[in-house]
Amino acid sequence: MELPEKTDSSDNETFPPLISLQRLAISENGFVFDPVSGHNFTVNETGLVILRMLQKDNQLAPLLDNLMCEYDAPRRELERDVVEFAGLLRDYVGE
Amino acid sequence: MNSDDTMAEVQRKPWLKPSITPLRSGFLNKSGAARHMIWRDNIDGVPVKKLLEEFKSPLFVISEQTLRKNSDSIREAFRRRYPDVLFGWSYKTNYLGAVCNVLHQEGDLAEVVSVFEYEKARRLGVPGDCILFNGPNKSREILERAVNEGAHIHIDHLDELYLLEDIARSMERVVDVAIRLNFDTGYTEPWSRFGFSVESGQALDAAWRIASSDNLNLVGLHAHIGTFVMEPLAYKAEVKIMCEFMEEVEKKTGCIIKYIDVGGGFASMNSLQGIYLPPEQVIPSIDQYAEAICDTLLQFTHDRESRDCSRPTLILETGRAVVDDAEVLISSVVANKHLPDGRRAVILDAGVNDLFTAFWYNHDVSPSRQLWGRPEETVLYGPLCMNIDVMRHSVMLPPLNVGDTLIFSPVGAYNNTQWLQFIEYRPNIVLIDEEGEVSLIRAAEDLDVVTQQERLPQHLEKPYPKGVPRNFLESTK
Ligand SMILES: Cc1ncc(COP(=O)(O)O)c(C=O)c1O
């Protein structure tokens, strides 16, 4: 059976749109406010690093590359946790 | 650039799962971001990691030291207050052979309620006359054996009374017996389905019937007012009612009561669901129970000596308060999830099949390493394909990794007896002795153990006698 070419999971669907991410107000200690959805939430240390990276570029692959440089963990594990984080982020951040 | 700087550049930070916590009103305080999470990396000095390497996860671990210490301190609390006290180990609470024999070595009799428990006690080497035989389901066969072996039979109902009398008559014996009483203490829901009601006069009727028998002799009174009884005054009421009944029955029927068995029921340091105060604040100490029981017993029996009859022996059948905190369950994280409502969920390799008491307790949960990160409201699920398989409905935990271990405690009471072989094999149970040696005391189940009792009729020996179903992944065109 011919498998369809695996799509690169770094398509734009994983994370909220760049403009939504860029409007988030993020404090040093992880408090986040979305002025459009009105949601408040907090992120931990790693969440904060990811959000900051995402405000520059919301593609999965480069994000994982960056995280690989900073953190001591296999790419598989980083990807799993980031994808889950992204799922939550979509709920908290409006379009 | 000095060499330290270069080092810092190459060294990568440990990865911590990213997390998001919604800010809801009233949530911040509860989440206590800075709350210190206690962890526990060993049991009685044996590293959790080492235990799991050898015995796999999930794993029940029993501390012999704690078990003996509990047994000793409960015994002492009563001995200090009443001269003649005995304990009967309530088999149903935990009838692992190793647990029973620790408690027998400490001096406990065996308190059994079924053929199985009776046979188990005998096989462990407990003599018949060290057995207290309770329970509403005693067949002629087991009663005959109990009479022959000198067990102390506690009669539950009239049918048992007549059956026992018949057995004693045909053996041409006079059998010493006790009757189980039920009554309202005013504090606990009366367990009125067991034994004879004092208030309605049934208990006195039974005593009369025994007194008029040539083959039975009433020597003991038994009651068990409930389990996890958090009010020591309930025991005061119990002992008072039993003593008053003792006086009445002795006066009216001429019998002499040699022992009063007040059953079990003391609460252990566990959190019942629906009770929001920590157990340290709501669970009475053993001394409080002992005081309630012994003071009342002394008060109501002080004039017996002047009447030239001795004080009755006090028997206790304390179960959970002896064994609960002597056992933990170690379980590992299989997966992390987020529920649609945003709550974090963790799937563990042990569920309510292993930890039956998760249905009514909020067990304490400690990680086996220091966890970093913000504690979040988390649901802990077991591995079963059932919605009811919840180990904790809500517990504040920092992010966990797959393979991390959580320690559930206390789990020593009513789990290794009420657990279910359902979907999964039941795991190993080990005992750590007082020297720190670890012994396997119940091996994990495997396919042979689980299917051992099954029989396949000849026509059902093969799953597909007429050929296997077609491969449904192949197209049918
Ligand atoms: C007759 C009898 N004795 C003793 C016990 C032990 O009770 P616990 O574990 O609450 O002390 C029970 C438990 O139900 C019981 O039915």
Name the token pair of B51: 């235990």
Rounded CA-CA distance A83/A74 in Å is 14
Closest by Cβ to B12, choosing from A70, A77, A91: A70
**CA closest to B344 among chain A residues:** A88
Q: What is the pLDDT of residue B303?
A: 87
Residue B452: how many CB atoms within 10 A of its CB? Answer: 9
ipTM confidence = 0.88
Pocket test of ligand 1: the residue of B227, B238, B283 to mutate, having most ligand atoms within 8 Å of its CB, is B227
| pLDDT digit string, tens, across residues B368-396 | 998 887 788 999 999 998 889 999 999 99
Q: How far is the CA of B265 from the centre of ligand 1 (A)?
A: 6
CA dihedral angle for residue A9, residue A15, residue A19, residue A23, rounded to 10 degrees: -150
pLDDT, tens digit (0-9, with 9 covering 90-100), for B104-157: 999 999 999 999 999 999 999 999 999 999 999 999 999 999 999 999 999 999
Q: Using only C-alpha atoms, what is the Rg of chain A?
A: 14
Q: Is A2 inside a domain boundary?
A: no
Check residue B189 and give its pLDDT.
Answer: 84
Task: Report if residue A64 sits inside a domain.
Answer: yes
Residues in chain A: 95
pLDDT of B2 strictly over 90: no
Domain, as residue range, for A20: 11-92
Q: Whose CA is nearest to atom 12 of ligand 1?
A: B264
Residue A30 resides in a domain? yes
Distances (CA, A) of A89 to A21, A57, A78, A93, B338: 10, 15, 16, 6, 12
Taken in order A9, A14, A17, A20, the sign of the CA dihedral is negative
CA B37 to centroid of chain Cα atoms: 27
pLDDT tens track for B53-76: 999 999 999 999 999 999 999 999
Q: Is the model's pLDDT at B300 over the cut of 70?
A: yes
Contact A81 B17 (CB under 8 A): yes
pLDDT in tens, A52-64: 999 999 999 999 9
Average pLDDT over residues B334-339: 94
> What are the structural domain ranges in chain B?
27-61+327-447, 109-317
A10 has a pLDDT exceeding 90: no
**Residue A13: its pLDDT value, please?**
77
pLDDT at position A8 over 50: no
Mean pLDDT, residues A21-38 taken together: 86
Res A11 pLDDT > 60 = no
Identify the CATH class of B109-317: alpha beta
Measure the CA–CA gap between B203 and B237, rounded to whole angstroms. 17
How many domains in chain A? 1
Q: Is residue B47's pLDDT more than 60?
A: yes
CATH number at residue A62: 1.10.10
Q: Over 80: is that where the pLDDT of A1 sits? A: no
Residue B32 pLDDT class (50, 70, 90 cuts): very low
- Mutate which: A76, A79, A88, vs B, most B CBs within 10 A: A88
**Is-contact A55 A20, C-beta < 8 A?**
no
Residues near B467 by beta carbon (within 8 Å), at least 6 away in sequence: none
**Is residue B16 predicted with pLDDT exceeding 80?**
yes
Ligand 1 atom closest to Cα of B267?
10
B111 alpha carbon – ligand 1 mean position (Å): 9
Give B200-212 pLDDT, tens digit per residue: 999 999 999 999 9
In a domain, A5, yes or no: no
Please choose from B112, B317, B356 the residue to mutate so as to test ligand 1's pocket, defined by most ligand atoms within 8 A of CB.
B317
pLDDT at B29 over 70: no
Q: In CATH, what number does B27-61+327-447 get?
A: 2.40.37.10
- B405-452 pLDDT, tens digit each: 999 999 999 999 999 999 999 999 999 999 999 999 999 999 999 999
Q: What is the pTM of this model?
A: 0.84
The verdict on residue A1 lying in a domain is no
What band does B178 get if pLDDT is binned at 50, 70 and 90?
Answer: very high
Identify the burial level of B50 via C-beta atoms within 10 angstroms of its C-beta, where 0-12 means exposed, 13-18 middle and 19 or more buried: exposed
Ligand 1 pocket: which residues have CB below 6 Å? B 90, 93, 111, 134, 224, 227, 263-266, 317-321, 413
pLDDT at B375: 85
Is pLDDT above 70 for B4? no
Min Cα distance B32 → chain A (Å) is: 13
Asked if the Cβ–Cβ distance from B23 to A50 is below 8 Å, we say no
Q: Is residue A25 part of a domain?
A: yes
Structure tokens, B340: 């649609």
What letter does residue B285 receive in the DSSP assignment? P
- In chain B, what percentage of residues exceed pLDDT 90? 82
Confidence of residue A95 (pLDDT cuts 50, 70, 90): low
Cα torsion through B164, B169, B172, B176, rounded to 10? 40
Beta-bridge partner residues of B335: B347
Provide the pLDDT confidence category of residue A41 given band limits of 50, 70 and 90.
confident
pLDDT higher at B232 or B274: B232
The reply to whether A4 falls in a domain is no
